[in-house]
């Protein structure tokens, strides 16, 4: 039987030491993401989204519970094993791109492969392949300061995917983009998901971005309180998402 790409099992996260002030950021999170899904995570500020992403990407460990990525449990792995796991299995896109300014776009995209000791010939071929899919071949020799925010984010997506990770994680990947560039990036993610079966999980506060997903998990106070699956068109899904957000009875600007 095919394993889910992500299996979060009874994840609890408590910040602060015993006897000190403690905060339960995640209470009992359970969900799975199957291969080829495009899942969004939404929720008010402080609801636990970043905590969950950090645990999924093995940057942080849960207080209780287990994460399995493609059937492999993260429990009991030491720091070296966790960092190998991250390097091989996960691609990450951040809101602020995180590109290295003194490297060209080509060198930035190549980083995960260079760190794994892949041969130069293979690196060149893989970088050009992912650059073609994301439409950024013409800027490969440029430096980050020479291109637009939207182009930078597509380079960041290429870097996150060049080593063919099992899972692409995004933390507000459209957060720093204007609406045109955000749409371009989301179309590129949709294309990767539909044509190449890339499994994507992204946190977003924006209902338009979320409407590109096939499923949304809504988190509040460290718990999943609602799940929406896209059944109809994208505009219909957008309206449904707005409906759930309105039911939160929170002003929209607090949904970050
Ligand atoms: N290192 C930490 N130590 C103590 N408490 C923390 C720590 N990191 C986060 N928290 C608390 O845990 C809760 C969840 O935080 P988290 O950053 O995961 O929320 P979020 O949904 O990502 O919020 P935002 O959308 O504002 O980024 C918050 O109440 C936060 O104050």
Q: What are 138-190's pLDDT values in tens digits? A: 999 999 999 999 999 999 999 999 998 999 999 999 988 888 889 988 998 99
Residue of the nearest CA to atom 6 in ligand 1? 15
Ligand 1 touching residue 204 (CB < 6 A): no
| Dihedral pair phi/psi, residue 58, rounded to 5° | 65, 20
Residue 185 in tokens: 């990036």
| Dihedral pair phi/psi, residue 248, rounded to 5° | -65, -15
Question: What 3-state class would DSSP assign to 219?
Answer: strand
Domains and CATH numbers, the chain: 4-249 (3.40.50.300)
Label residue 200 exposed, middle or buried (CB < 10 Å: 0-12, 13-18, 19+). buried
* CA–centroid distance, residue 25 to ligand 1 (Å): 7
* CA–centroid distance, residue 105 to ligand 1 (Å): 32
Task: Looking at the CA of residue 43, tell me the nearest atom of ligand 1.
Answer: 21
Q: Do residues 31 and 219 touch, judged by C-beta distance below 8 A?
A: no
Residue 78, CA atoms < 13 Å, CB-side half-sphere: 1
What average pLDDT does this structure show over 97-109? 95
Ligand 1 touching residue 48 (CB < 6 A): yes
* CA–centroid distance, residue 174 to ligand 1 (Å): 20
Task: Looking at the CA of residue 222, tell me the nearest atom of ligand 1.
Answer: 14
Query: d(Cα 55, Cα 32) in Å, to the nearest integer?
Result: 14
Residue of the nearest CA to atom 26 in ligand 1? 45
Residue of the nearest CA to atom 29 in ligand 1? 46
Give the CA dihedral 81, 87, 91, 96, nearest 10 degrees.
Answer: 100
Residue of the nearest CA to atom 14 in ligand 1? 48
* CA–centroid distance, residue 111 to ligand 1 (Å): 30
What predicted TM-score, i.e. pTM, was given to this entire model?
Answer: 0.91
What average pLDDT does this structure show over 18-43? 94
Which pLDDT does position 253 carry in this prediction? 52
* CA–centroid distance, residue 248 to ligand 1 (Å): 19
Ligand 1 touching residue 46 (CB < 6 A): yes
Query: Is residue 137 over pLDDT 70?
Result: yes
Query: d(Cα 2, Cα 248) in Å, to the nearest integer?
Result: 36
Residue 115, CA atoms < 13 Å, CB-side half-sphere: 13
What average pLDDT does this structure show over 103-117? 93
Tens-digit pLDDT profile for residues 202-238: 999 999 999 999 999 999 999 999 999 999 999 999 9
The single-letter DSSP state of residue 67 is E
Ligand 1 touching residue 22 (CB < 6 A): no
């Amino acid at each position: 039987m095919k394993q889910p790409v992500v299996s979060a099992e009874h994840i609890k996260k408590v910040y602060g030491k015993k006897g000190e002030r403690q905060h339960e950021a995640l209470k009992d999170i359970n969900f799975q993401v199957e291969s080829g899904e495009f899942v969004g995570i939404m929720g008010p500020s402080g609801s636990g989204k970043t905590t969950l992403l950090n645990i999924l990407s093995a940057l942080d460990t849960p207080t209780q519970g287990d994460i399995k990525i493609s059937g492999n449990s993260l429990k009991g792995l030491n720091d070296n094993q966790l960092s190998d796991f991250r390097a091989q299995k996960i691609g990450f896109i951040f809101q602020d791109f995180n590109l290295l300014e003194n490297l060209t776009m080509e060198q930035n995209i190549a980083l995960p492969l260079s760190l794994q000791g892949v041969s130069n010939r293979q690196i060149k071929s893989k970088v050009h392949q992912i650059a073609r899919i994301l439409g950024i071949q013409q800027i490969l020799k440029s430096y980050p300061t020479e291109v637009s925010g939207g182009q930078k984010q597509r380079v960041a997506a290429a870097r996150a995917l060049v080593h063919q990770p099992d899972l692409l994680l995004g933390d507000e990947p459209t957060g720093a983009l204007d609406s045109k560039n955000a749409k371009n990036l989301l179309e590129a993610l949709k294309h990767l998901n539909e044509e190449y079966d890339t499994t994507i999980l992204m946190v977003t506060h924006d209902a338009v971005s979320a409407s590109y997903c096939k499923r949304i998990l809504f988190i509040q106070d460290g718990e999943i309180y609602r799940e929406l699956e896209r059944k109809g068109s994208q505009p219909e899904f957008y309206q449904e998402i707005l409906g759930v957000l309105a039911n939160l009875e929170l002003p929209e600007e607090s949904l970050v």
